[in-house]
Structure formats: C-alpha cells, structure tokens
C-alpha cells in the first residue's frame, strides 16, 4: 500500500542502522564456498536478502534464521558437477550477480535468468564475465539471456588490472581468487566499505589477503578454516544512515543514529555539513542536527570516497529548498532522473544537462501523489513529503522494502506523521 505523509513535523529520537544491503550478498556467497558453518550477525531483514536465501536453496545451500537479524549458513547439502539455476528471484535483485563466484565449484554452471536490480540505465555484465575468463572459465552468453560457464583450463597465477572501478566486479574477483589455490593480484579495485567487509570476512576464513598499494590486492587463495564455526558481523548500512541525515535536513530536528560510522560515507559528510547538517560522533553513535536553512552545493557521484550514486536522490531533496541553485553530476547511472521528475509534481524546478541535474532551490513543496520508481527514489520522495505542505502519497513500497527494514516505521518513531498499512 502507498505511504501517506503529512509534512511539518520535526524529527527527534534515536534509530539503529540495519546491516548493509551492499555487503550481505557477497559475504553469503563466500560463506557457502567454505562449506563450513558460518553465522552472520546484523543480517539485514529486507526483501533482497530473503530472495537471496531462496536462490541459495536452488544451489542446495543450507541456511537457517537464528533470529530476526542472524543467519546461519552450513554450506552445500549436495554439490553437483553441473547445475542449472532458473530461480525467478535472480531477476528481482542485482545482488544475485554474486552467484557468478560459485563457478569454481561446478564443471558447468548455467544461469537462465537475467540479473535484476533497479532500472537506472545500462547495467552491463561484460566486465564480470571477463573476470571469469581471466580465471580460466569459458563463458557462453546465449540470445535467450542464458549464461553457460565452464571450467576449461587451470591457471597458476592471475593478474588483473581493472580498466574501470566496479564494486561487484571487484568482489567477484576477490571471491574466486580466495577459493582457488592460486596467487592473484588485483589492481584498481573498488574501495567501498562493503569491499573491506568482504575482505575482513575472508581473512577469518584463512584467506591471505594483503594490500600492495592503495587499490592493489594480493591474494593467496585457498580457504583454511581455523574453527568449525565462524561468526561475522556485517557492517551497518551507510545508505540508511545518509537517508536519516537527509530526513533531518528536510524536516529539521535532532536525532541519534546508532551503529553509524561517519567515515563510511566518505566526502558526502563534508557535503552534508555544507548543506547544514551538524554532526556529533563518538564510538559509531552519531547525533545529527539541523535547524537552519539549507545551503546550495555542487558535487558529483563516483566510487568511494566520492559520493555514492545511491546517495544522489536522497541528498537532492533538501537542496530543493536551498537558498540558491545546486548541481549534481551523475557519473554512474545515466538514467537516474526518475526521482526529480516526480519531485517536479510537488513544485521543484530543475533542468538536466550533460548528466548533471540543476536544482533551482527555494521551492515551496506542495503535497501530491508521486511514484517511487526504484529504491532510493522512493525513499527520497518520502523525505520530500516530510517538508511538504499538506499530504503526500508515495507509491513504490515494493522497491523500498528491497533495501530498508521498516524505514517508514523508524521515521514514525522519530515523530513523522506517516500512515502505512503494510510493513515488512
């Protein structure tokens, strides 16, 4: 059901961030590859993670929920030589792409569904498939979107210098090189916090991983379990943290955010401070406050430590009422403009030129019915509703629940006036 928001309520109180949506899936794959017992704490209860668990069932991977935010993975109950994955859940989430790292476990891995995710423009997988080829796999991509991956030669050492940074490509390469008993060097890797989370997890599995340079890894593969059971706590979700910061910028107020590492958001912290946010941080507890007008800013998205593309729609909302024009250059997804077109229904004036959205500012937001078109656009429209006059109705709960664990309910606990009838 849609969310109905009445604006004008200041935010006060405290929230605790969930486990990272961008971290759990690759770690799940790494845990299954060990074929030992692994307990993942701070596991996010979101639709994407539930769909990933369902995909694992087709691989015969044993999983069990210990409690709401703890998942146990016991490895494969039966490991077949050849396997075909036709699970419809593959199409529902982008994180399903990490099952490509299972390739070393099978003589032939066939995937009959396209990898899903939000529609934000082209999302090619050629770089992911090239990684498989570097490790000695043959890859056939058929017209009906089937992928057939076979192991055709053994390699003793692999060196990859990535032409372009990519978080998912980096993590797939790390996973495969960690499983194979070979030496691998990876250059120009992505440096997002969730990449470090995967590295820290794999080190617990006995994988030898060292940094040769700022963005260069050397991996001595082969998982050498030291214990019968390994426990790992997934890092907190920095995107959820930024979402709450932007909500405070929009609605004003003062809240405490627990389990929030401000360093994880990179340069976005400085931009949010310029916009008007005040941070008081200690031991991953952050108090964020805003009682002033919003200042205009210009920034571009990019790989860490630059501002993450997922933060773009969230940070754009307070800028709609800023005292002047702001510009956001989108460098990752060429079609990430759905949110701003919906905001225009609420009175926002903007223009898009050369992959940059220029937001005029000083808008008087009026409540309207708007449609969330992806995960972050839905969250951004809810934030817009917090500072609009009148009622705002936001659709797109099917997107929001893929990444957020009870986000509207958390906002209600902070004092927001939101009516909802269906909470995950």
282 lies in the same domain as 209: no
Same domain for 171 and 196, yes or no, is yes
Assess whether 200 and 292 both reside in one domain.
Answer: no
pLDDT per residue as tens digits for the range 301-334: 999 999 999 999 999 999 999 999 999 999 999 9
> Measuring CA to CA, which residue among 2, 128, 1, 11 is closest to residue 417?
11
Query: Which residue range is the domain that position 55 belongs to?
Result: 24-219
Query: Token digits for 43?
Result: 């596991």
Query: Looking at the domain assignment, is residue 225 inside a domain?
Result: no
Domain boundary among 165, 191, 219: 219
Pairing of strands 326-329, 356-359: antiparallel
Residues 172 and 314 in one domain: no
Residues 30 and 124 in one domain: yes
Last residue of a domain, one of 185, 219, 253: 219
Same domain, 306 and 388: yes
The per-residue pLDDT for range 262-283, each reduced to its tens digit, is 999 999 999 999 999 999 999 9
At 138 the pLDDT is 95
For 36-55, the pLDDT digits (tens) are: 899 999 999 999 999 999 99
Q: Residue 226 has what pLDDT? A: 60
Query: What pLDDT was estimated at residue 424?
Result: 43
**Domain CATH code at residue 324:** 3.65.10.10
Residue 423: predicted pLDDT = 46
Per the CB < 8 A criterion, the answer to whether 121 and 333 are in contact is yes
Percent of the chain with pLDDT over 70: 97
pLDDT reported for residue 114: 84
Same domain assignment for residues 11 and 49: no
The number of beta carbons lying within 10 Å of the beta carbon of residue 369 is 14
- Give the per-residue pLDDT at 359: 98
Q: Are residues 101 and 200 in the same domain?
A: yes
Pairing between strand 391-395 and 3-6? Answer: antiparallel
pLDDT band of 29, cuts 50, 70, 90: very high
Which residues make Cβ contacts (< 8 Å) with residue 363, sequence separation at least 6? 320, 321, 346, 347, 348, 349
Other Cβ atoms within 10 Å of 126 Cβ, number: 9
Residue 424 lies in a domain: no
3-state secondary structure at position 81: coil
Whether residue 263 lies inside any domain: the answer is: yes
Cis peptide, bond prior to residue 254, ω within 30 of zero: no
The count of domains in the chain is 2
Measured between alpha carbons, how far is residue 395 from residues 8, 361, 369 in Å? 20, 24, 8
Give 226's Cβ-side CA count (13 Å radius).
9
Confidence of residue 225 (pLDDT cuts 50, 70, 90): low
Confidence of residue 223 (pLDDT cuts 50, 70, 90): confident
**What was the pLDDT predicted at 248?**
98
354 domain residue, yes or no = yes
CB count in 10 Å sphere of residue 77: 10
Same domain membership, residue 307 and residue 259: yes
Is the residue at 335 inside a domain? yes
**Does 224 fall in a domain?**
no
Asked if residue 270 and residue 151 are part of one domain, the reply reads no
Please state, in angstroms and rounded to a whole number, the distance separating the CA atoms of residues 278 and 288. Answer: 6
Same domain, 129 and 205: yes
Q: What are phi and psi of 411, to 5 degrees?
A: -65, -40
Chain segment 321-368, per-residue pLDDT in tens: 999 999 999 999 999 999 999 999 999 999 999 999 999 999 999 999
Q: Is the pLDDT of residue 163 over 50?
A: yes
Same-domain pairing of 272 and 386 = yes
Residue 22 has pLDDT above 90, yes or no: yes
Q: For residue 232, is it within any domain?
A: no
């Amino acid at each position: 059901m849609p969310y109905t928001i009445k604006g004008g309520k200041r935010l006060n109180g405290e929230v605790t961030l969930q486990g990272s949506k961008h971290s759990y899936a690759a770690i799940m794959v790494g845990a299954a590859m060990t074929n030992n017992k692994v307990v993942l704490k701070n596991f996010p209860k979101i639709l994407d993670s539930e769909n990933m668990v369902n995909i694992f069932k087709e691989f015969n991977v044993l999983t069990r929920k210990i409690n709401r935010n703890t998942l146990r993975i016991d490895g494969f109950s039966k490991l077949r030589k050849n396997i075909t994955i036709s699970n419809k859940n593959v199409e529902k989430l982008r994180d399903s792409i990490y099952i490509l790292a299972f390739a070393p476990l099978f003589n032939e891995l066939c995937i009959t569904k396209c990898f899903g995710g939000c529609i934000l423009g082209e999302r090619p997988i050629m770089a992911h498939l090239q990684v498989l080829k570097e490790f000695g796999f043959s890859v056939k991509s058929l017209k009906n979107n089937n992928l057939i991956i076979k192991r055709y030669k053994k390699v003793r050492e692999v060196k990859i210098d990535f032409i372009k940074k990519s978080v998912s490509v980096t993590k797939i390469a790390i996973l495969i090189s960690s499983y194979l008993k070979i030496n691998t060097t990876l250059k120009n890797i992505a440096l997002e916090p969730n990449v470090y989370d995967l590295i820290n997890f794999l080190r617990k599995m006995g994988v030898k991983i060292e940094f040769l340079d700022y963005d260069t890894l050397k991996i001595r593969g082969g998982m050498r379990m030291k214990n019968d059971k390994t426990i790992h706590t997934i890092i907190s979700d920095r995107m959820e943290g930024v979402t709450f910061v932007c909500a405070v910028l929009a609605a004003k107020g003062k809240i405490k955010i627990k389990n929030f590492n401000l360093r994880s958001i990179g340069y976005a912290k400085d931009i949010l401070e310029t916009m008007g946010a005040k941070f008081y941080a200690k031991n991953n507890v952050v108090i964020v406050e805003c009682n002033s007008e919003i200042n205009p800013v210009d920034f571009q998205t990019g790989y860490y430590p630059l501002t993450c593309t997922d933060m773009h729609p969230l940070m754009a909302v307070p800028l709609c009422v800023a005292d002047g024009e702001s510009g956001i250059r989108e460098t990752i997804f060429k079609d990430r403009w759905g949110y701003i077109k919906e905001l225009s229904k609420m009175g926002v004036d903007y223009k898009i030129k050369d992959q940059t959205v220029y937001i005029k500012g000083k808008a008087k937001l009026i409540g309207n019915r708007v449609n969330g078109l992806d995960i972050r656009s839905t969250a951004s429209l809810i934030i817009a509703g917090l500072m609009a006059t009148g009622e705002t109705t936001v659709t797109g709960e099917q997107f929001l629940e893929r990444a957020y664990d009870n986000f509207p309910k958390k906002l209600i606990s902070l004092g927001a006036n939101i009516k909802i009838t269906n909470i995950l």
